[in-house]
A and B are shown apart, each in its own frame.
Chain A
Amino acid sequence: MRRLAFMALAPFCVLLLQGCAGWQSALDPKGPAADELAWLIWFFTALCAVVWVLVMIALAAPLVMRSRPGDEPLLLDAGAERRKMRVVVTAVGLTAIILIGLTLLSFFANRTLAAIGSEAVLTIKVTGHQWWWELRYEDATPSRILTTANEIHIPAGEPVRLLLTSTDVIHSFWIPSLAGKLDLIPGHMNVLDIKADKPGVYRGQCAEFCGAQHANMGTFIIAEPRPKFDAWLNDQLQPAGAPASGEAKAGADLFLKRPCVMCHRIGGTPAGGTVAPDLTHIASRKTLAAGTLTMSRGNLAAWIADPQGIKPGSHMPVADLNGDELNAIVAYLEGLK
């Protein structure tokens, strides 16, 4: 029976352990901030485990070693009392030292986190929306300011400063593999510095309940070597390419005539809405609707045809398009690399 229970539990344990690795795990750090935090949590856990075991032993000892009552139970042995007092005072002293020590460790870890961004090479303004992330790559030259959504490309091995704010409710930005979480608060700017040691894709997630589609508010940090990042940035700064096929051309016209144009922006066209994700290079992104769907022609069509079925409550309404119109718009968007 017991063996059966153990066998039933084993797969769960394996699953739990698997959850510790991968592209979204605080226990699998990929940057200096996450390293610091992971080290801290392991040290706290180990130390607290030792203290817990000692306390349990101290509690169990009197139960196991029952002392025989003497001739005079009410008579106190002054020497034994003093010894007990010494043990208690030592334990209290040790507790105080451990607590102060842990506080100091947290303090110094915080200093390390704060130092990461002192030489930030790039500033990105991250604005939380229900339920997607707006990104603005700041630059001193206005023509080199880039607005995009949901997919954060950064140069690997270089510190990046994120300015976090929100336009509707409180969200929280959390890339477990790179840094701790920090809230995005309407009317307030928070600063989070991150650094990815190696190139890679790290998933992030909104970590503050923000409404119906909180669970589908994901983001990706894509750390790339410097030359690749620069090439990406230059590509993204270009206006959208002209539609290639006749169908895509019809889609471009429809985009401007139908509800799409009311909210979305496509650089280089009259579509200039700023309340929804920028679609100038939508086909270059790996996911749709803040990490909800992978990018493909089918998913793009599904998302436009029935956003309320895929992400109920999202602010993308069901546009009244017929099949041909939908295909044309998808053909156009698919070409926006």
Chain B
Amino acid sequence: MRQALAMLLPLTLVLVACQREERDTRPQSALGSGEQPTPVTALEPGGQRPSASDNKAASFEANAFHLSEGKRLFGWFNCSGCHANGGGGMGPALMDEKWLYGSSIESIHATIRDGRPNGMPSFRQKIPDDQIWELAAFVRALSGNAPSSAAPQRNDDMMVHPSENRLPDAATLGKSP
């Protein structure tokens, strides 16, 4: 009996490992349309600060599927045209610690949806709301704000040097065969 129980425990653990996060590929209507205005500043007449949180933020922020979808869309929609893979070019860098409009996912979502002065265009209606959230989550992950278990990896072609198994053999390097 005790043996059977002892065997059951690892089996349960193995089965638990099968549990992966859900992939919501359809918009979840329960989370709202994402059309609520996002405050651009914390200053408010009368001193009452509007809440900056959105129902959708939590379900996108640390979700590996949404983060990887965001990475794919970042390439597809040519964000690199201005932000250069997050390093910054004509547009500001996205992988540093500086956030002109706040580091929360809601602010990044508002930036993509409504645009910002000096160049950032508005993608309202051009990108479905869920896809904007995916992009915002990925942009946040670029500067290490997402758990490493969920954040997508950097592409192979962007590594500073080839992976170790592709490097020339150190022993024979520089010597003629």
Q: Tell me the complex Cα distance, A313–B26, Å.
A: 9
Contact with B along A195-236 (1 / 0, CB 8 A): 000000000000000000000000000000000000000000
Is B72's CB within 8 Å of the partner chain A?
yes
A320-B129 contact given A275-B76, A315-B72, CB 8 Å threshold: yes
Q: Tell me the complex Cα distance, A160–B107, Å.
A: 53
CB-contact partner of A257 in B27, B77, B125, under 8 A: B125
Main secondary structure of the interface of A (DSSP, over half): loop
CB-contact partner of A318 in B33, B126, B128, under 8 A: B128
CB contacts under 8 Å to B, within A250-267, are: 257-259, 261-263
Number of interface residues of B (CB under 8 A): 15
CB-contact partner of A259 in B33, B72, B127, under 8 A: B127
Q: Tell me the complex Cα distance, A315–B72, Å.
A: 10
A309 pairs with B127, CB closer than 8 A: no
Least CB distance from B51 to A in Å reads 24
Is B130's CB within 8 Å of the partner chain A?
yes
Is B163's CB within 8 Å of the partner chain A?
no
Contact with A along B13-36 (1 / 0, CB 8 A): 000000000010111000001000
Q: Tell me the complex Cα distance, A309–B26, Å.
A: 8
Least CB distance from A251 to B in Å reads 15
A259-B126 contact given A275-B76, A315-B72, CB 8 Å threshold: yes
Instruction: Give me 17 other A-B pairs in contact (C-beta within 8 A), A259-B126, A306-B26 excluded.
Output: A257-B126, A258-B125, A258-B126, A262-B76, A262-B77, A275-B76, A308-B25, A313-B23, A313-B25, A317-B25, A317-B130, A318-B27, A318-B128, A319-B128, A320-B27, A320-B125, A320-B129
Give me 30 A-to-B residue pairs in the complex whose CB atoms sit less than 8 angstroms apart, sorted by A's number. Answer: A257-B126, A258-B125, A258-B126, A259-B125, A259-B128, A259-B131, A261-B126, A262-B76, A262-B126, A262-B127, A263-B76, A275-B76, A306-B26, A309-B26, A312-B25, A313-B23, A313-B25, A314-B25, A317-B25, A317-B128, A317-B130, A317-B131, A318-B27, A318-B130, A319-B128, A320-B27, A320-B33, A320-B125, A320-B128, A320-B129
Q: Which residues of B contact A (CB under 8 A)?
A: 23, 25-27, 33, 72, 76-77, 125-131
Q: Which are the 6 A-B pairs with shortest beta-carbon distances?
A: A308-B25, A308-B26, A275-B76, A317-B128, A317-B131, A259-B128
